[in-house]
Chain A
Amino acid sequence: MPAPLLELKSVSKSWPGVRALDKIDFSLERGEVHALVGENGAGKSTMIKILTGAIHADEGQIILDGQSYAGFSIKQAQNLGIGAIYQELNLIPNLSIAENIFFGREFRKHGLVDFARMHAEAGTILARMGFKLDTRARVGSLGTAWEQVVEIAMAVSKNIRILIMDEPTAPLSTDEVTKLFELIRRLKTEGVSIIYISHRLEELYEICDRVTVFRDGTRIETLPIGEAEKGRLISLMVGRPLLNQYPPRIPVPSASPTILEAEGLRSGKLKDVSLKLRRGEILGLAGLVGAGRTEVVRAIYGADRRSGGRVRKNGKEISIASPLDAIRQGIVLLPEERKSQGLFLNLSVSDNMVFPNLRKYRRLAMLNAKSIRQDVLGMIDSLRIKTSSERNRVLFLSGGNQQKVIIARWMLMEADVIIFDEPTRGIDVGAKFEIYTLMNKLKSEGKSLIVISSDMQELIGISDRLYVMCNGRMKGELVGQDIDQERILRLAADFSDETDGPGVSGSMEGVAAR
């Protein structure tokens, strides 16, 4: 058997007080897709940073092509053909596709940038990857999926041999994921090896050859994908058998009244969308990216202007022209981009929780620090937020704990309709379970939840009822036992007028109680 392309031999890395990697062994074959799984903080990203040259290992060897290295610089790693695509895409929005692909390595003719050649070569690379894009288009005008294609093209243009992908499917919809997988298979046949990191375990079975599990800075196990049954992977990752990915469903009382009702919502993207939300219910919104899910909730929340439609809460029509109106009506939104839209990263946990609600703590003209502290500590305790203190900056919390801080904020505001847009993106398995448990808790307290997620398993696992959207319309509704992957996909895909499968009601009428 030929030697593997890449081998790590007892590589270790410590930070002050933390052993981030402890004597890791790892190997990668030519043309192999090797998955790396583990909870956040398990050491995956440390290993990747060592491979891309962002940090140096304290000890151990990296053997690439028979050559042994103690570590590389960023430039050296690039020259050796190691590239990475990170969760936060690193593109320059105001430059064209071609300029992004060749940024820092522009072709020159007579001292000037040779744009003609740049566009030609960019086009060739994209064509080789199976895409036809206008290389003059500005990257900022593309969607996330296409941006990712540009990042991959960037890597391919550098004669990549090892491509590291960190959660590449997190921002993608189902059919975009399919396209990405096709691309990965294509790269594979060209001999590119891929290290693939994902929290969505189902994906691994589609494209990976082997999977390595990390936990607490050590490598627990490397398995051929055929032997890596999902339950086994999860128990290896968390170090204990995790019986369920989702907490048990709490039934919605059949007498539960409708709390929120939207009728005939219209905006640039939405064409006559109606929905009903009952008290104590988790309502899922499924659909492909671009189907209009986010637009529906943004319209309800008053974040986007709508051109038509009515919203009723508890049977009374309410007018919502801005998020402030929505919040006053007890409707809140946890946005998709947690870091940029939901949190004040530089402020403390406490400030983040009470920020929109300072009126409540006002005493004369000052804030009542004591009652703020009391409420915040209560939330940290009841949501089990892991933080050194309430004055710790939110920046230093893990993704799951950051999400809990936002949830705490709205719980303190006593909102009764809570909208979650991609609540668990980039959050690891253990923390996901906690978020789901928290959702259930909110539900049993009589709050109503609307959840948007690109992770279909998640929607299936937690929704009491689910609407499927397609092209700005409600395509159908699934309730309870009828919620399954096949039905969702059938509705989400754009097969016009083929909707009447079992358990599917094509119209919004007759919302059945479970």
Chain B
Amino acid sequence: MKSKNSIDMKEFALFFFFLLLCVFFSIFASGFLRPTNLLNVARQVSIIGIVSVGMTIVILTGGIDLSVGAIVGVAATGAAFLMINLKLPIALSAVIGILLGGAIGLLNGIMVAKFNIPPLITTLATMTSFRGVSYIITKGIPIYGFDDSFAILGQGYVGPIPIPVIIMLAVFLLGSLMLGRTRFGRHVYGLGGNEEAARLAGLDIGKIKLMVFAISGLLAGFAGIVLLSRLMTGAPTLGTGFEMDVITAVVLGGVSIAGGEGKLRGVIIGVLIMGVLSNGMIIMSLDENYQWLVRGFVLALAVGFDRNSKRTRN
């Protein structure tokens, strides 16, 4: 929606922080500014980026989805199993992998909407179970031996731009359109802003919750396929810990964990900040142990800043 306050201080501050980070690394990390490196950063964040769109939608309703990492794993290993062990066509296997993700998302949605299990518990449970499923599918051993044509999705380029980056941008664009301009999207914001009001306005709250988890699952499944194509290895550990990176990026992007507030254009900056931060630190060859320290610190800093700017506005 275009409105007068469409670029508010918060988003500006976030963008400024991002630029500051870029300036810092372009001075202290040699080679950071090279176009190939920047494209590399974009490719590195693309998987997290795709998942973060689904996560944003869930968080906007006031929910959370911890199972995205496990879904990435199941979709990737599931598709790998179909391609290698069952010799199904690549495209069909990939689609089934994505739908598998959607189905797990739907299961999350049913548990949340129909059985009133809080999202945190629901997705904690599915996260644990479906990580197990990845190990069951692969019997604990990575699956190899994919046809080279499958690599296009994760490793191909259109001109100089990596295909995963294009996919991520498309997902962000579609997500923005959906959140900003469709009824469903506005209802997502409404539900997160005041659930009771949304109920009284005659919305089917359960259906919306079901949908947001299904979308999150689908996108995580999609990300799983892209990841598989990039690595060409169906390891049961794929996607482990993604949920935390994704939630970090979303929160960094200014989405309120309480629901109802935040935009995808903030989230994409959040995703990029995460990417630039780890890329820059690697170039500066900072000890990996210290990288964790810095990442956590940046998150706390960004959210703390956000909280305090909110207080002064009220």
Q: Which residues of A are interface residues toward B (Cβ below 8 A)?
A: 74-75, 78, 90-96, 99, 103-106, 108, 111-113, 115, 136
Query: B209 interface residue, CB < 8 Å from A?
Result: no
| Given A94-B260, A104-B201, A99-B186 contact (CB < 8 Å) | yes
B194-A96 in contact (CB<8A): no
A112-B181 in contact (CB<8A): yes
Residues from chain A with a CB closer than 8 A to the CB of B185 are: 113
Q: How far is the CB of A79 from chain B (nearest CB, A)?
A: 10
Residues from chain B with a CB closer than 8 A to the CB of A95 are: 186, 189-190, 193
Q: For window 179-226 of chain B, which residues contact chain A by CB distance below 8 Å? A: 181-183, 185-187, 189-190, 192-194, 196-198, 200-203
| Given A74-B202, A113-B182, A92-B193 contact (CB < 8 Å) | yes
B196-A90 in contact (CB<8A): yes
B203-A93 in contact (CB<8A): no
Query: B4 interface residue, CB < 8 Å from A?
Result: yes
Q: Which residues of B are interface residues toward A (Cβ below 8 A)?
A: 1, 3-4, 177, 181-183, 185-187, 189-190, 192-194, 196-198, 200-203, 260-261
Contact of B203 among A104, A108, A112 (CB under 8 A): A104
Residues from chain A with a CB closer than 8 A to the CB of B177 are: 112
A104-B202 in contact (CB<8A): yes
Closest-by-CB residue of B relative to A99 is B186
Residues from chain A with a CB closer than 8 A to the CB of B4 are: 136
Residues from chain A with a CB closer than 8 A to the CB of B189 are: 92, 94-95
Q: Chain A binding site: helix, strand, loop or mixed by DSSP? A: loop
CA distance A115 to B203 in the complex (A): 19
Q: Pull 30 A–B residue pairs with CB atoms less than 8 Å apart, ordered by A.
A: A75-B202, A90-B194, A91-B197, A92-B193, A92-B194, A92-B197, A92-B260, A93-B194, A93-B260, A94-B192, A94-B193, A94-B260, A95-B186, A96-B1, A99-B190, A103-B186, A103-B187, A103-B197, A103-B201, A104-B190, A104-B202, A105-B201, A106-B183, A106-B186, A111-B182, A112-B181, A112-B182, A113-B181, A113-B185, A113-B186
Q: How far is the CB of B209 from chain A (nearest CB, A)?
A: 16
Residues from chain A with a CB closer than 8 A to the CB of B203 are: 104
Residues from chain B with a CB closer than 8 A to the CB of A105 are: 201
Q: How far is the CB of B2 from chain A (nearest CB, A)?
A: 8
* Among B185, B189, B192, residue most surrounded by chain A Cβ atoms (within 10 Å): B189
**4 nearest interchain CB pairs?**
A104-B201, A92-B193, A90-B197, A94-B193
Q: How far is the CB of A203 from chain B (nearest CB, A)?
A: 26
Residues from chain B with a CB closer than 8 A to the CB of A115 are: 1, 181
B261-A94 in contact (CB<8A): yes
| Given A103-B198, A103-B201, A106-B183, A136-B3 contact (CB < 8 Å) | yes
